A and B are shown apart, each in its own frame.
Chain A
Amino acid sequence: MTNTEPFDTDQYKISDEPYYEVQGDEVSLYEAAYSARLPVMVKGPTGCGKSRFIEHMAWKLGKPLITVACNEDMTASDLVGRYLLDANGTRWLDGPLTTAARIGAICYLDEIVEARQDTTVVIHPLTDHRRTLPLDKKGELIEAHPDFQLVISYNPGYQSLMKDLKQSTKQRFTGLNFDYPSTKLEVSIIMKEAGIDEDTATKLVKIAHAARHLKGHGLDEGISTRLIVYAATLMNNGIDKKAACRMALVRPITDDADIIDTLDHAIESIFG
């Protein structure tokens, strides 16, 4: 019982170039990993451009990209596929991982630690020399398409201590470390992404830096590049600069009155 209808792989293709500013040698490293079809793990704080990087690479390599946002309630069948009931009895539906393995897509499991550990184990046979995916319920063994590659993202640190990857999972991946871009780079990213002038972008980055220094002193995570872009977007829509910063940069990241006060003061003194 395989899928009878012709599969539209184009829907997973990325047509326009996603904007991505190269931070270091990550592009060439990724390309090397892809050419050997090695699984890749990208690590880094939230909103620093991990997902954007993968999109960009999928576009650059011209491969389809299937993204799965992982969560606690996800089971192995959510990844692999399951039988569904219909009028004629049952019908098998491939899960995203199976689809990717069949069509030769890059399968991107976002925030993999959010999934339960027993779920993550199903990716093991795909990530070593076997490159196969057994569908036990269906009695099928899928050989992965030669273009197939598995990528996971992973945000160490801020989540609870309980959520960590097993060593046996970790050791199946090559790793790329991401961090917030350097000041200069971040300014140019924000200018391009949000279409804002350099002076304002520099000031926004300065506020973000102030908050990043509070990480571990009451803040779980600093202000991410994504939030700065939000702030800049609000400003483009005619919102007062300080109000935009308070709304996009401060209120989302903390409920701590002291931190709010400190960051509001930073905004006040940077935007004058």
Chain B
Amino acid sequence: MSPVDIQHYRGQLKCNFKQIEECFDDYIKDALRNLSSEGVDKYLDGASKICMIGRGWEPVSIYLEEMPQMVQRLDEAILEVISETVWSMSRTPNGNSIPPLMQCLPEASRRLGSTEQVLNFLAIILKMMEQTTVSIHGHHATIPSPGLPKLLNQTPYLLSQVSLQGLSNWVDYGVRNYGNHPERQKDYFSLQSADSKAMLQRERHGTLYMDHERQLDMYLRSMWQDESYFVPYSLGFDPLTKPVPYYDELGIRIPDVYDDKNGVSGIDRYRLTIAHIAAHRRWTKQLVADNFSPFQRVAIEHLEDSRVECLMLQEYPGLKKQLLAMHPKPIEDDCDSERESCIRHRLAMLSRAILDDQHGYQNEHILNAVRQFQEAVSNAGASTEQMVDIAISFIARTRLQSDQLANMRFENTEVDYRDDNRHMWVFIEENDEAEDFDDKQKMEKEELELDGLPPRHYPEWDYATTSFKPDWVSVYEAVHPSGSTADVDAILDKHAQLAKRLKKLLDLLKPQNYVRQRYQEEGSELDLDVAIRSLIDYKSGAQPDPRINMNHKHDGRDISVMILLDLSESLNDIPDGAEQSILQLSQEAVSLLAWTIEQLGDNYAIAGFHSDTRHNVRYYHIKGYSEKFDDTVKSRISAMQAGFSTRMGSAIRHASHYLEAQKTDKKVMLILTDGEPSDIDVDDDDYLIRDTKKAVDELSSKGMHSYCISLDKKADDYIQDIFGAGGYTVIDNVEKLPEKLPLLFATLTS
């Protein structure tokens, strides 16, 4: 190309940075190679536009440098799209995000693969920008989005982990929850907060452990007759150390996600990893590590891996295809033993040769070791000790000076379904490194924390995304402290009259089960057996039995009840015109209700709850299903205290897992509350109401009924939304509660 032509193009680009000047030759040559003449015009126009935004030379130079490549991958329309986007971003306070945007674009376009996808991606970014750019005085958007530059910096990583849809969900979540909190927003979008990582994990592509937990459990149990826990670890946030699977007495550690690889699906990769570990657990014996040099140990581990795989294949030959697909195939002369340490390469070749009959390796030491190995294994599967012998002789024969080099060759040697074999070794000599001291201290601390029940985590429904927030709420369960038994007895004495009336009513209660009554003179159906018998009696001259009908009636009760009490701060209020606080009235009501249910002989439990943010929902066990209404329970009722807020959904979820376990036909959860669900860490009034509704829906989908008794006069606004029509009662006159509650229960269950 002549200098005159270049000058012509240079004239089209209206930008005078010195740095651009220096490289323009190269840029334009690249552009001419990749773009049509129209494209070159657009390209230069776009660059001029970016130059005009006044963000220095850097965005322009990235544009000039990267666009020809991007156009090659996508098409020329992208030129204008990018320049327009950058232009419109420069019209907002978010100019500082333009350089990161330009930097992430090449990688993003490579991942996304089509102009359409890039457009979608830009739409997500622009939407996020709009939502997080806030104004202080309400006039103009004036504060740049705090999260946007962070998001753009993370983009290449994010796109490697999630699909565009996943990215969109993840961004939406961050915007919604941290839109008004700049520092937390930054943490979220730079993948620093636990929340952000958990959400990303949910959106990941590939096979997630959490979706297949049960299946993998079954796999281990059915095919390996092994029982152990799985502990997933995350690969995403630890790219340097790259954790590998292993197991110890606490469980089997496996990655939380596997993508499909080499034609083996994620779930099959999980199964391979588990099969390998299970095979070790079945066939590997421990060795004393101190007896071997590090190289010997590596070799022993490799051979032992091969041995257990060999045994595994005898049992499950169908796995061979997958093993071959997943095992790396090192090329024989790939490793230069002059410059790098080839020990791993050699061992990987050996391991491949054992697995793959078609390995085609020529190295006589490897062939020799394979022969020895196969001889040993053909004899009843050999033993770990025999592997030690082969490994030591292999290492001795193939040892090279360069094995000691720090420059170890790792390429093509990592077998990713294998564990790190730490279980194989026992160390006799304890080392005296300083870390040991720390370890001990940490252990002691951890043990201390285990005092009391560990929290249970429950998801919470977020109506805005129509999805659950994973493990959002921590519920701590404890037995309610005890007080004086006499209080409850006094309550029962006080209401002796009421109790008498209740008793009469209870006697009249209709039982629940459906049974057949035979031998009825009048009934709903003819009982054929009896009818024929009567006819025969009649024909043969005997006195026929006239009771030839049958009837159906109700008999017996088969109900489990869970009484869930809201113990929030507002219970301490004394309602207008009353003398007792709501708490005291509730105590009376619950005592009477318990007495009533006890009379009916139904199976019931009582629990209370309150919450202090999502991190601390307290669930108090007052009476369990197997406990009687005795002094222990009475003393717990009398010690009831009110405090904090009402996070009802999680309490319902926790209570439901007890109720669900009851083996009765009908299961009822009674919820006694004095106000709407709320908590101090939630601003959106609707949020906890919708979550509670979801919890109630979950109850009914599991075949349990719920009923709410609300003492909130204003409950009509929301309570029907939660419990549905007919699923609640509002008691206006709180003083009547002790009387109404048992009656209500009796009518509900009759």
A-side residues, CB < 8 A to B, are 75, 77, 82-83, 85, 89-90, 137, 161, 206, 210-211, 213-214, 217-218, 258-259, 261-263, 265-266, 268-272
Interface of B is mostly: helix
Structural contact, B221 and A272, CB atoms closer than 8 A: no
**Contact among B222, B268, B318, B533 for A271, CB-based, below 8 A:** B318
Give the CA-CA distance A117 to B221 in the complex, in Å.
Answer: 38
Q: Do residues B219 and A265 form an inter-chain contact, with CB atoms below 8 A?
A: yes
Report yes or no: A217 in contact with B221, Cβ–Cβ below 8 A. Answer: yes
B223 and A258: CB pair below 8 A? Answer: no
Give the most central of B225, B271, B536: most A CB within 10 Å: B536
State whether B536 touches A269 (Cβ < 8 A).
no
Beta-carbon contact of A258 and B215 below 8 Å: yes
Question: What residues on A are CB-neighbors of B223 within 8 Å?
Answer: 210, 262, 265-266, 269
Say yes or no: A90 contacts B540, CB within 8 Å.
yes
The answer to whether B222 touches A211, judged by C-beta atoms less than 8 angstroms apart, is: yes
- Per the 8 Å Cβ criterion, residues 707-747 of B in contact with A are none
Asked if A266 and B222 sit within 8 Å, CB to CB, the answer is yes
**Residues of B close to A82: CB separation below 8 A:** 532
Contact with B539, one of A90, A214, A266 (Cβ below 8 angstroms): A90
A77 to B218, CA, bound (A): 47
Among B218, B316, B317, the most chain A Cβ lie within 10 Å of the Cβ of B218
**Complex alpha-carbon distance, A15 and B55, angstroms:** 100
Known: A85-B536, A85-B539, A90-B539. A218 touches B320 (CB 8 A): no
Question: Which single residue of chain B is at the shortest CB-CB distance from A262?
Answer: B218
Which residues of B have CB within 8 Å of A262?
A: 215, 218-219, 222-223
Residues facing A in B292-325 (CB within 8 A) are: 315-321
- Interface presence of B430 (CB below 8 A): no
Interface pair B529/A77, CB less than 8 Å apart: yes
**Residue of A whose beta carbon sits closest to that of B272:** A269
- Partner pick for A213 among B225, B529, B533, CB 8 A cutoff: B225
Top 7 closest pairs, chain A to chain B, by CB: A269-B318, A272-B318, A269-B316, A272-B317, A210-B222, A262-B218, A258-B215
Which of chain B's residues have a CB closer than 8 A to the CB of A263?
Answer: 222
Nearest opposing residue in chain B for A263, CB measure: B222
Contact B535 A85 (CB under 8 A): yes
- Which residues of chain A are near B533, meaning CB under 8 Å? 83, 137
B539 pairs with A270, CB closer than 8 A: no
Give the CA-CA distance A272 to B315 in the complex, in Å: 10
- Kindly provide the distance from the CB of A80 to the nearest chain B CB, expressed in whole angstroms: 13
Query: Which residues of chain B from 521 to 546 have any CB-CB distance to chain A below 8 Å in the complex?
Result: 529, 532-533, 535-536, 539-540
Q: Are B318 and A218 in contact (CB under 8 A)?
A: no
Complex: A262 Cα to B220 Cα, angstroms: 10
Q: Does B214 contact A (CB under 8 A)?
A: yes
The interface bits of chain B over 268-285 (1 if a CB of A lies within 8 angstroms of the residue's CB, else 0) are: 100100000000000000
B221/A214 in contact, CB under 8 A: yes
Asked whether B221 lies within 8 Å of A213 as measured between CB atoms, the reply is yes
In the bound assembly, the distance between CA atoms of A214 and B540 in angstroms comes to 59
Which one, A210, A213, A261, A269, contacts B215 given CB within 8 A? A261
CB <8 Å contact, A217 and B218: yes
The answer to whether B271 and A265 have CB atoms under 8 Å apart is yes
In the assembly, what is the distance between CA of A172 and CA of B540, in Å? 37
Closest to B222 in A: A210
Residue of A83, A89, A263 contacting most chain B CB atoms (<10 Å): A83
Instruction: State the Cβ distance, A112 to closest chain B Cβ, in Å.
Output: 21
The interface residues of chain A lying within 8 Å CB-to-CB of B267 are 261
- Chain A residues with CB under 8 A of B318: 268-272
Task: State in angstroms the CA–CA spacing of A268 and B221 once bound together.
Answer: 17
Cross-chain contact of A89 among B219, B315, B317, B539 (Cβ < 8 A)? B539
Residue of B nearest to A77 (CB): B529
Is the beta-carbon distance between B317 and A270 smaller than 8 angstroms? Answer: yes
A242: nearest chain-B partner, CB-CB: B318
CB-nearest residue of chain B to A214: B222
- Give complex CA distance A161, B535 in Å: 38
- By a CB distance below 8 angstroms, the chain A residues around B532 are 82, 85
Contacts of B540 in A (CB 8 A): 83, 89-90
Task: Give Cα A80 to B571, complex, Å.
Answer: 68
A93 to B40, CA, bound (A): 103
Interface pair A75/B529, CB less than 8 Å apart? yes
Q: Known pairs A85-B539, A261-B267. 10 more at Cβ < 8 A?
A: A161-B663, A206-B315, A218-B214, A258-B218, A259-B218, A265-B219, A269-B316, A270-B318, A271-B318, A272-B317
What residue in chain A is nearest B319 (Cβ atoms)? Answer: A269
B213-235 contacts to A, CB under 8 A, are 214-215, 217-219, 221-223, 225
With the chains together, A105 CA to B539 CA distance in Å? Answer: 34
Residue of A nearest to B322 (CB): A269
Interface string of B632-676 (1 = CB under 8 A from A): 000000000000000000000000000000010000000000000
Can you name the residue of chain A whose Cβ is closest to the Cβ of B275?
A269
Q: How far is A161 from B558 in the complex, measured between Cα atoms in Å?
A: 14
* Nearest CB in chain A: distance from B99 CB, A: 49
Report B-chain residues with C-beta under 8 Å of the C-beta of A210.
Answer: 222-223
CB distance from A187 to the nearest CB of B (A): 15
CB atoms of B214 and A258 under 8 A apart: yes
Residue pairs across A and B with Cβ atoms less than 8 A apart, 30 shown, are A83-B533, A83-B536, A85-B535, A85-B536, A89-B539, A89-B540, A90-B540, A206-B315, A210-B222, A211-B222, A213-B222, A214-B221, A217-B217, A218-B214, A258-B218, A261-B215, A262-B222, A265-B223, A265-B271, A266-B223, A268-B318, A269-B316, A269-B317, A269-B319, A270-B318, A271-B317, A271-B318, A272-B316, A272-B317, A272-B318
- Chain B residues near A77: list those with CB within 8 A: 529
Nearest A residue to B214, CB-CB: A258
Q: How far is the CA of A213 from the CA of B218 in the complex (A)?
A: 9
Partner of B218 from the list A75, A161, A218, A271 (CB cut-off 8 Å) is A218
Chain B residue at minimal CB-CB distance from A210:
B222
Residue of A nearest to B317 (CB): A272
Contact yes or no, B536 A90, CB < 8 A: yes
Q: What is the CB-to-nearest-CB distance from B281 to chain A, in angstroms, rounded to a whole number?
A: 15
CA distance A77 to B530 in the complex (A): 11
- Interfacial chain A residues near B663, Cβ < 8 Å: 161
Residues of B within 8 A of A268 (CB): 318
Residues of chain B lying within 8 A (CB to CB) of residue A261:
215, 267
Inside 8 A of B214's CB, which chain A residues have their CB? Answer: 218, 258
Contacts of B321 in A (CB 8 A): 272
Q: Which of B197-218 contact A (CB under 8 A)?
A: 214-215, 217-218
User: Scoring B residues 435 to 474 as 1 if CB is less than 8 Å from chain A, else 0, what string do you get?
Assistant: 0000000000000000000000000000000000000000
- Residue in B219, B222, B540 whose Cβ sees the most chain A Cβ within 10 Å: B222
- CB B402 to nearest CB in A, in angstroms, measures 40
Q: In the bound complex, how far is the Cα of B223 from the Cα of A263, in angstroms?
A: 9
Cα distance, A203 to B536, chains bound together (Å): 60
How far is A214 from B217 in the complex, measured between Cα atoms in Å? 10
- Expressed in whole angstroms, the Cα–Cα distance for A83 and B663 within the complex equals 43
User: With A and B bound together, what is the CA distance between A56 and B316 in angstroms?
Assistant: 36
Q: What is the minimal beta-carbon distance from A76 to any residue of chain B, in angstroms? A: 10
* B-side contacts of A85, CB under 8 Å: 532, 535-536, 539
Report Cα–Cα, A270/B225, bound state, in Å. 15
Q: Within the assembled complex, what's the spacing in Å between the Cα atoms of A206 and B225?
A: 12
Give bound CA distance, A49 to B218, whole Å. Answer: 27
1/0 contact string of B54-78 vs chain A (CB within 8 Å)? 0000000000000000000000000
A77–B527 CA distance with the chains assembled, in angstroms: 14
Most chain A CB within 10 A, of B215, B529, B535, is at B215
Residues of the A chain whose Cβ atoms lie less than 8 Å from the Cβ of B539 = 85, 89-90
A73-B319 Cα distance, complex, nearest whole Å: 50
Q: Are A214 and B218 in contact (CB under 8 A)?
A: yes
Cβ distance B273 to chain A, nearest Cβ, rounded Å: 14
User: With the chains together, A213 CA to B221 CA distance in Å?
Assistant: 6
Docked CA distance A265–B268 (Å) = 9
B559 CB, min distance to chain A CBs, angstroms: 17
Q: Digitize B242-283: 1 where CB-to-A-CB distance is under 8 Å, 0 elsewhere.
A: 000000000000000000000000011001000000000000
- Name the residue on A nearest B312 (C-beta): A269
Cα–Cα distance between A82 and B528 once the two chains are bound (Å): 13
CA distance A210 to B271 in the complex (A): 14
